[in-house]
Homo-oligomer: A and B are copies of this chain.
Amino acid sequence: MNHRPLWLACLAAVCLSLPAAAEDGYDLWLRYRAADTREYPALTTSLRELVTVSGSETLRVAQAELARGIAGLTGAPIAQVATPSQSGALLFGTPRSSVLIAGMPLALERVGNEGYVIRSVAVNGHPATVIAGNSDVGVLYGAFHFLRLLQTRQALDRLDIVSRPRIQRRLLDHWDNLDRHVERGFSGQSIWDWHKLPGWLDPRYTDYARACASIGINGSVLTNVNANATSLTPAYLEKAAALAGVFRPYGVRVYLTARFSAPIELGGLKSADPLDPAVRAWWKARIDEIYRYIPDFGGFLVKANSEGQPGPQDYRRNHADGANMLAAALAPHGGIVMWRAFVYSSANSEDRARQAYSEFVPLDGKFADNVLIQVKNGPVDFQPREPFSPLFGAMPKTPLMMEFQITKEYLGFATHLAYLAPLYEEVLDADTMIAGKGSTVAKVIDGELHGYKLTGMAGVANVGSDRNWSGSHFDQANWFAFGRLAWDPDASSQAIAEDWVRMTFSNDPAFVKPVVDMMMGSREAVVDYMTPLGLAHLMGTGHHYGPAPWISDLSRPEWNPAYYHRADADGIGFERGPTGSNATAQYSPKVAARFADPKKTPENLLLWFHHVSWDQRMASGRTLWDELVHRYDHGVEAVRQMRRTWDAQAGRVDAERFAQVAAFLAIQEQEAQWWRDACVAYFQSVSKRPLPAGAAPPAHPLEYYKALSFPYAPGRG
């Protein structure tokens, strides 16, 4: 029996039929719009009262979130009581904060420090639901999971959920500069308003931390990997500390990037040599100071000796020397170093795809215990498709963490709809074969395969000052999916998409199914209209906006698209087998054998690993040239189909978000066509082969595409 007064229920029903707030995407997936309780009666039967607990700020946040979510979804506030008095009570807390929970046989030892149990129980003979964890933040994660059940209309009467994160450090890397420019950011400025910090704590900081906690993200690297020493000065530490204070109740720790030459720039030293005692003393003092500002500071992310950044090699030291020096100063405080393996050098003629492996594998086992090596998913740089990095599996004595890119530097910026979870999943599920079949990348980074004591996954954030946070509504799904996969690398990209669609847009099956299908195919569409068949890095110089496969005159060879595609009169592709750069040999023998043989290499990676004749027959029966054009056309057609899918959803989604998605898809179709036409025009100028029957000639001559210039494309480095 629902004890809320009838007038309140009526009021709720009526009020909620009025527009409550603009549908501008600010709510993200935490969109607690009213459910129809006739279709989803569990909402009222299972949620009659919320049993409060007292304790930390984190528990207060969990309680407020549950109250807010339930009020939104049911249309009326839930009664908050000190002890359960009827059926339909919702309890939450830890054994320490709740005597009732302490008395339940929940076997909480299974969920570790951050996990939780959600279970249907009986309290004094009444059906109830309990959300319990060993820590307050575990309870908060459980609360968000419980709300997700409501948002996606799950049954609530026989709950028995046990969840714990598989990865310890689940981080967002913000490539945000102190002037609020976001490198590779396509959603406005940095949300960190450094100038007004610490005096003004924008409520958006709280909403950011809340969104992170809702998907299990527990750390935030505030600053760009192309680091600025100024972020380590007292004025900026005070600002970072203010953010840490806002994030703390949500279980989100603050990390910073360290510029390796900071001892020179800030300390006035002559050197940044990691073995120089003065340098070590400087870092120790600086790190001790950081912990005075931020007692739970997480540690440093470091990009060193890469793309012009300073590093230990400037002093003939190696990456381990550099990382261990910082690690030694961080260790007493519990801090860690995340040292990036994204290194390559224009002075090194070795295949760029090989360089990280060549530099890091010899250092396996040489890093301090509180160092993680952060490895990008592929050997080059966040392309629409790359094979997994050969480092995964190759450093059993050194914990490797994953670096994914959530922001779409190479996948159409904010206007292209590309759901990235299938890309993440493809990498996590990839089999390194390092210890036999099933040695997946996921098992490397979650520590199972090599017994890593420290584990992590980072995503380069797509969060900015745009009202909808991520630049587009659908890009929010990539933030969401990253968090979910960092919690559970075996989660299904399709299931995550379905959760997200239901939470963000609608539970209407007529909406959910086609929109999830559209998302699931979207990344492959980008691959096809940008870089099919294993091609990579054909994007415009610097900004990476639009096609420029013709570029071959940049001073750094590995910045030229021509370096990657190597198209000539005979064929196309980068030969990385034994007759070429032999990058394939960096994989474990069985994988190497497969990639080394063009016949065994999957077609979707063919041109990554091999230079192939234009006339080679493909699985389809087409020649490679015809297949390439076909793929480009297929990519464009896929976007057209996405538009049709979306346009058919008019009326099933609010007009405001419908219009933006529709407009962005129109831009995407136009730009997919541009990609296709420019690439086909260019490659045809090299292959000298006729277009296959039925393929339309490019809309403009090649020179037209070459002449286009985009000096103000967003997100520049």
Q: Hey, which bits of chain A sit against chain B, CB under 8 A?
A: 11, 14-15, 18, 20-22, 178-180, 188-189, 194-196, 199-201, 203, 230, 413-415, 465, 467, 656, 660, 663-664, 666-667, 670, 711-714
Contact = CB atoms under 8 A, between A and B. Distances in A.
Nearest to A196: B415
Nearest to A413: B195
Given A11-B14, A200-B660, A230-B711, 9 more contacts: A14-B15, A15-B18, A20-B21, A178-B712, A179-B712, A195-B413, A195-B712, A199-B667, A230-B712
B667 A196 contact: yes
A660 B189 CA distance: 20
A196 B188 CA distance: 12
A205 to B, nearest CB: 13
Contacts of A22: 21
A657 to B, nearest CB: 11
Contacts of A467: 467
A403 B199 CA distance: 32
Contacts of A195: 413, 712-714
Contacts of A415: 196, 199-200
14 contacts: A14-B15, A15-B15, A178-B711, A178-B712, A188-B188, A189-B189, A196-B415, A196-B667, A199-B666, A200-B660, A200-B664, A230-B711, A230-B712, A467-B467
A17 to B, nearest CB: 10
Pick the most buried of A195, A203, A467, A711: most chain B CB atoms within 10 A of its CB. A195
A76 to B, nearest CB: 11
A200 B714 contact: no
Contacts of A666: 199
Nearest to A543: B195
Contacts of A670: 199
A196 B667 CA distance: 8
Nearest to A716: B179
Pick the most buried of A22, A180, A656, A712: most chain B CB atoms within 10 A of its CB. A712
Contacts of A230: 711-712
Is the contact region of chain A dominated by helix, strand, or loop, or is it mixed?
A: loop
A712 B178 CA distance: 6
Contacts of A20: 20-21
A188 B182 CA distance: 13
Contacts of A179: 712, 714
A517 B196 CA distance: 26
A592 to B, nearest CB: 42
A667 B200 contact: yes
Contacts of A201: 663
Nearest to A12: B18
A663 B203 contact: no
Contacts of A713: 195
Contacts of A712: 178-179, 194-195, 230
A658 B195 CA distance: 20
Nearest to A415: B196
A472 to B, nearest CB: 10
A178 B709 CA distance: 14
Pick the most buried of A18, A178, A666, A713: most chain B CB atoms within 10 A of its CB. A18
B18 A21 contact: no
A221 B374 CA distance: 47
Nearest to A11: B14
A413 B15 CA distance: 40
Contacts of A664: 199-200
A409 B629 CA distance: 54
A89 B576 CA distance: 80
A10 to B, nearest CB: 9
Contacts of A465: 188-189, 465
Contacts of A14: 11, 15
A199 B663 contact: yes
A713 B180 CA distance: 10
Contacts of A11: 11, 14-15
Pick the most buried of A178, A413, A711, A714: most chain B CB atoms within 10 A of its CB. A714
A478 to B, nearest CB: 18
A206 to B, nearest CB: 12
A11 B13 CA distance: 11
A656 B203 contact: yes
Contacts of A656: 203
A663 B203 CA distance: 12
Pick the most buried of A189, A201, A666, A711: most chain B CB atoms within 10 A of its CB. A189
A487 B194 CA distance: 38
Contacts of A189: 188-189, 465
Nearest to A177: B712
A14 B179 CA distance: 45
A189 to B, nearest CB: 6
A239 to B, nearest CB: 11
Nearest to A664: B200
B180 A714 contact: yes
A20 B15 CA distance: 10
A200 to B, nearest CB: 5
A11 B18 CA distance: 11
A227 to B, nearest CB: 14
A664 B195 CA distance: 12
Nearest to A711: B230
A510 to B, nearest CB: 27
Pick the most buried of A20, A188, A200, A656: most chain B CB atoms within 10 A of its CB. A200
A660 B203 CA distance: 9
Nearest to A667: B199
A204 to B, nearest CB: 9
A709 to B, nearest CB: 9
Which 8 residue pairs spanning A and B have beta carbons closest together? A199-B667, A178-B712, A15-B15, A179-B712, A200-B663, A21-B21, A195-B714, A189-B189
Nearest to A24: B203
Pick the most buried of A15, A178, A194, A666: most chain B CB atoms within 10 A of its CB. A15
A22 B52 CA distance: 27
Nearest to A204: B467
